[in-house]
Amino acid sequence: MFDRRITTERLSIWKAITGHVLALMLMFGLFGIIFLALIGKVNLTDPTTATFVGTVTGYIINQLARPLSYYFQVARDSFAESDKEKKLDESGKRDEVG
């Protein structure tokens, strides 16, 4: 019984560490690509390279949504939902008045 508790604790620690490490790798990768593009190490005049850098940067930014929502409790979709609700409220008020 004692071994099972220790194993469960170790597993939860490794799961927590793994999530943090993956989030840091994504952020460093994003900033690394942007840095290399800004200092000129990446030839963005070549359409294939520019497309690749844009695609990878967009993918990394999209994947950062979960770590950002975890660390900062901000969801990208929550802003969209609140805007939709505001627009619906405004349109409903206009329909009632008009």
- Domain positions in the chain are 2-97
For residues 61 and 38, the answer to whether their CB atoms sit within 8 Å is no
Hey, CA dihedral for 79, 24, 38, 55, is it positive or negative? negative
* Full-model pTM: 0.54
User: 23-82: per-residue pLDDT in tens?
Assistant: 888 888 888 888 988 898 888 888 998 898 889 888 888 888 777 777 777 666 655 566
Q: 63: which residues sit within 8 A by CB, 6+ positions away?
A: 26
